[in-house]
Structure 1
Amino acid sequence: MLQKTSLLLLLLLIMIKAEAQKTKSPPAKANTASASNHQLQKKLDSIFSSYNKSTPGVAVTILQNGKVIAKNAYGMASLEFSVPFTHNTLVRLPYSEGREFISIAAALMEKDGMLHLNDNVKNYFPKLPAWSDVVTIQDLLNHSSGFADEWATLALTQASMANRLDKSQFLQFLYNQPEPSVEPQKGYMYSNSDFGLLRLILEKAAGEDLAAYMKRKVFDSLKMIDTRIHNDKEAVIANRAFTYNIDVGNSYKLWLQDKTSPGGNYFVLTSANDLEKWAAAHADSKSFISAAVNRLKQNARPIPVIPGTNYVFGQKHRKIGSYDAIVHMGVSELPYIAYIPEQNLTVILLSNLFLSRWNSMEKVLSSALGLETQVAVKSNFSQQPIEVDPEELKKFAGTYKWKVPLTYQSYVERKRFTEFVSENRVLKVLYSSEDTLDLVPVAKNTFRDPEYPDVFVFAQKHADSAMKVVMYTYDGDTIRMEKVLVTKPNLAREQLQKFTGNYYSRHLDFYWTLVLNENNQLVVKRPTIADKRIEPTADGEFRLMMDYGPYESESWIRFYFTDNGSVSYFTISHPRLMGHRFDKVQ
């Protein structure tokens, strides 16, 4: 009996073991997700291989379905003190990128009954000019208000557009504007005054500083503990990295040009780690942030002068392969978040290098999606100098007009020219009267800038066609130019003399004085700016180079005459300066 029982138990054990063998999981496969993530990490290392201990830094995070699948930081938060860049490093977002935050604040205040986006702006500041009676908060959000751009107009009176007005000066600037820059509610011009005024309206509606409101309502709610809006860029803040710009010889210098002011400018500091929470709130269709963005889109007019869907409040729709991407990016081309809804994929990219990084964002997105990425064209060029026949250099000399389509600024075409001259067996580029560089030939028709990694490629289809040049810039831009025949008027001293005198801007309550120097050149004198030469050009206009931040750009002066032929006034124009008028003082 015992033997029989033992046999039955043995058979039972065999059966249990056999059943276990049948239901046992198959051998574990390699963790393909981990392997894939490892490959993605290697791609990030390759994309950001130029960042090191001698460069500014960048932090990148890739998330899918809310989980981090790749994350790394490269380069330095401080080059001076050898502090590495991390995901906790705080970086200032440029103003056009920061507009997303202030726009969302407006939508949240509307939801809480503090204001309405259709409110007239004069309800908050009754001294605004009569022509602005119809202007609403929504017009500020759409850049259809007609208010002159504070920064571009300031360049008429200050040595640099980096200067800022205080609150009383800013409001007086708006109160004194005699006529709209564009037709209110219908026109379009990118104006920093719109968002300066918006901030002041939001603070009146909330009864508190915008920084305090955003901390309480948004940043604390999302646990973005380090993100803030503030007024003082000189404040000492832990983990804050100052922004760098590329200087000559591929070196770096601090970018200290942007100032905040009580005039309404806003200053957003954030970190890559905090942006994970900001991105998650946008990706969550039920969040209060998503609701605010949906409200903004209801009456938002995408920027009408550039192709695609580009919202003033700082979001753009782009294609990555066949995928739709929502990119958090302003006009500076400095994306900090990109989201692919179809894949629930988010990329966060934050850097303290003031340099267009859409190319980097596109490469990261393509890598995460398994798409092919193209190598930048300029990387194919040799850097070794060669000898070029001086007669060949003469073919490239001349004045070239930029083939610039309408920019984000307005419907006004940006007129810009670059001159190349051949002297002493060298091709030179004249960026401005103060900025001339000897180009280095690296191929028969290809030259590079000796200081920046910019490359110029000349081409001519046949002898009777216009010479063209493509400039590949260090920040990934491509600029196309075509040689034009420009006959500069050779005006006699007596002809130039009639333009001299004192001129007055009623809007700015500011004088310009035009004089002739000993070289028979017209010079504009202003008490706050070094003397500048104005050059006669074709079509009866004069060119004045002005400081618009990190670069000089052309502004165009046109004189108007009385019936007896004497000068009555002139206007000065730029895509963000709509015929600002100076009357001649008789």
Structure 2
Amino acid sequence: MKTPLWTLILPTAAGLACAGANPGGPPEGAPELTALDAIFADFAGSEGPGCAFAVSRDGQQVMSRAYGMADLEWHVPNTPETVFEPGSVSKQFAAAATILLALDGRIDLDDDIRAYFPEMPDYGEAVTVRMLIHHTSGLRDWGSVASIEGWPRWSRVHSHKHALDIASRQGALNYEPGRYYSYTNTGYNLQAMLIERVTGQTFDEFSQERIFRPLGMTKTQWRDDFTEIVDERSVGYRRGEDGEWHMLMPFENVHGNGGLLTTVGDLLRFTRNLDTGEVGGPEFVRLMHEEGTLDSGWKTGYAGGLRVGEYKGVREVSHGGSTAAYRAFLTRYPDHGLAVSLMCNVAEADSRGLVRRVAELYLADAMTEEPRVDATGVDVDPADVATFAGGYRDTRTGQYLELIADGSSLLMSGGPGGPPLAATSETGFASATGVSIAFEGPASAGERPPGIMDMPAADGVRIEPVGPFEPTAADLAEYAGAYRSDEAEVTYRFEVEDGRLMFRDRYGDGAALEPLYPDAFGQESRTFIFRRDETGRVSQASLSEGRVWDLRFERVE
């Protein structure tokens, strides 16, 4: 086999220094290249896909490296100039475009979206443009509904026409607008469409004119036609069941939620503008960092396509992304003038973990260990903690979570998951990641009380105890039948086989359902809740999963 030409003209793909690095050596206080390369050791070499990252200090790029291959068929390595897709990192660009249009006076962020999308249903309360930005609209995620329908993302060529059609079919929201937070791509696809309807330009034309060209982002565009030839684009890969690499690309034309084509250097140019306001000015910077606020006054931590928080005691503004086999993370530590961008064309990459390991090398003196909930002085008997253990129902979604006693802490299975909830009082528990539960009193006579759960993006979530559910064959037979959802344009069948309730989709594919609590069953991340009419007959099924809550199916046989 001939030696590929690239091996003769480029350094090894295990790591490439590039423009932006200090030609006289690393800047004072910068980590050694060996330490950086060690973080990406799993992606070095020419046998698999990999990553590229770049670092800036006070807006100046000081480092960029690349690892692994951009194209395994043609033996092309990744470089810092390789074009990737950063998935939902793209959302901050869509939010930026929407905010610029508002600053132009052509829209108001508090406008009802039906002013621009009359085909959307009237839900009785206004869904505003600002809610689209902050994921507080209650709109169901169109891609999740498409998956329920039987056509998951990348299984057919979805366009904005499909996304809007699905959104406009939803007769209900996940919740009343502004009451909760739920991440939904629908809101960001609508922003891209809104800009096109208001300006008469394509979303890419508007973005090029107002964002990309002014910031010198010469290799950035929206993937609004996936068949277009893009110079230096990487191919996304994941491991197949055979252990070999297989391509997994976002063959769809929806964008705004994702769909950006860019480089790690261009990402840093954009994130620099979030400090300087070179494009947009101070009000643009303020609105981009304005966190969503629920009706209760709770701050969600989600701003203009940006997550605002802390990492190891340092203020962090960031967003991650994944689309098909691409993975990405863009983060900025404003108090230290540091920003790190990373994109990978390998599905197995932990992009957030990789970026933060890079950041830790640069900010080693500033970062501290993650704070832990201090339960010191809280004298709680583990036997009392155990009285709260058991199954609970999230009253927002109907989904099931289980609390497991572990000494003076509770472990959460299902729900938000995460680290242990340490006892903070006789009836209160909290974790280091901001999840807390306050029960409405101690357990008495074997009866567990309900509780109120607060999370970083939501407060006041009521959880209610549920008992075990062991349905008999006769019980299961009550659920058997066909159920139709016009919102998802699909009919599901439920059948009893070998003493278990099975669900079948339109293609006959399905799986066994696990009993959770009376009339509720689970299948992976989905929860099916059967509902009864006034006679006690099962007449409806409700489906809840991460981004779709209480999607109703009417029994048709």
Deviations 1:534-565 (A, max 9, x none): 3434333122x3xxxxxxx3312222223433
Q: How does the TM-score come out when normalised to structure 2? A: 0.72
2:300 counterpart of 1:329? no
TM-score normalised by length of structure 1: 0.68
Kept after mapping to 1: 8 A contact 2:89/2:320: yes
8 Å contact kept, 1:40–1:368: no
SS in 1 for 2:310: strand
Contact residue 149 and residue 577 of structure 1 kept, 8 A: yes
Shift of residue 197 of structure 1? Answer: 1.9
Of residues 132, 136, 149 in structure 1, which corresponds to 2:128?
Answer: 136
Range with bigger deviation, 292-301 or 326-335 = 326-335
Match of 1:174 in 2: 167
Q: For the residues of structure 1 that align with 2:164 and 2:111, how far apart are their CA atoms?
A: 18
Question: Structure 1 residues 89 and 571, CA, compared in 2 at 3 Å: closer, same or farther?
Answer: same
Secondary structure of the corresponding residue to residue 90 of structure 2:
helix
Tell me the CA shift for residue 349 of structure 1.
2.2
* Aligned counterparts of 2:298 and 2:37: Cα–Cα separation in 1: 34
- Cα deviation digits, residues 124-182 of structure 1 (max 9, x gap): 12232121551211111122222222122222211535446544443333333222221
**Mean alpha-carbon deviation: is it higher for 129-138 or for 243-252?**
243-252
Superposition CA RMSD, Å: 4.2
What SS does structure 1 have at the residue aligned with 2:43? coil
CA distance in 2, matches of 1:466, 1:280: 42
Of residues 542, 545, 553, the one that matches 1:582 is 553
- Look up the match of 1:13: none
Give % identity.
20
Q: Is the 8 A contact 1:308 1:317 kept in 2?
A: no
Residues 1:181 and 1:345: Cα distance change in structure 2 (over 3 Å): closer
Asked whether 1:514 is paired with 2:494, we answer yes
Alignment of 1:547-558 (within 5 A): 553-558=524-529
Contact kept? 1:60, 1:71, Cα under 8 Å:
yes
The 2-side partners of 1:532 and 1:506 are apart by: 22
Return 533-542 or 75-84, whichever deviates more: 533-542
Are 1:526 and 2:505 an aligned pair? Answer: yes
**Could you tell me which residue of structure 2 aligns to residue 491 of structure 1?**
472
Q: CA deviation at 1:344?
A: 2.2
Corresponding residue number in structure 1 for 2:74: 81
Distance 1:117 1:149, change over 3 A: same
Unmatched segments (≥5 aa) in structure 2: 1-22, 370-388, 422-465
Residue of structure 2 equivalent to 1:362: 356
The whole-number CA distance in structure 2 between the counterparts of 1:169 and 1:68 is 40
Which one-letter code corresponds to 1:491 in the other structure? T
Change (3 A) 1:531 1:68: closer
CA contact (8 A) 1:75 1:84 kept: yes
Tell me the distance in 2 between the aligned counterparts of 1:536 and 1:127: 39
SS of 1:346 mapped into structure 2? strand
| 1:339 alignment partner in structure 2 | 332
User: What letter corresponds to residue 470 of structure 2 in structure 1?
Assistant: P
* Match in the other structure for 1:573: 544
Quote the residue 1:194 is aligned against. 187
Which residue of structure 1 aligns with residue 7 of structure 2? none
Quick one: structure 1 residues 148 and 154, their matched pair in 2 at CA, closer, same or farther if it must change by over 3 Å?
same
SS of the equivalent of 1:130 reads coil
Structure 2 contact 317–332 (Cα < 8 Å) conserved: yes
- Flag the structure with larger Rg: 1
**Equivalent residue letter for 2:82:** T
In structure 2, relative to structure 1, the CA distance for the partners of 1:43 and 1:289 (3 Å cut) is: farther
CA distance in 2, matches of 1:47, 1:356: 11
Give the 3-state SS of the residue equivalent to 1:155 in structure 2.
helix
Q: CA deviation at 1:110?
A: 1.4
User: What amino acid sits opposite 1:569 in the alignment?
Assistant: Q
Cα distance, 1:277–1:558 mapped onto 2, change above 3 Å: closer
Higher helix share: 1
**Contact 2:327 2:344 (8 Å CA) reproduced:** no
Structure 1 residue 89, shift from structure 2 partner: 0.2
Describe the shift of the 1:303–1:214 C-alpha distance in structure 2 as closer, same or farther (beyond 3 A): farther
Question: The residue matched to 1:578 in structure 2 has which SS?
Answer: strand
Query: What corresponds to 1:428 in structure 2?
Result: none
How many residue pairs get aligned? The number is 467
Moved more, 189-198 or 307-316: 307-316
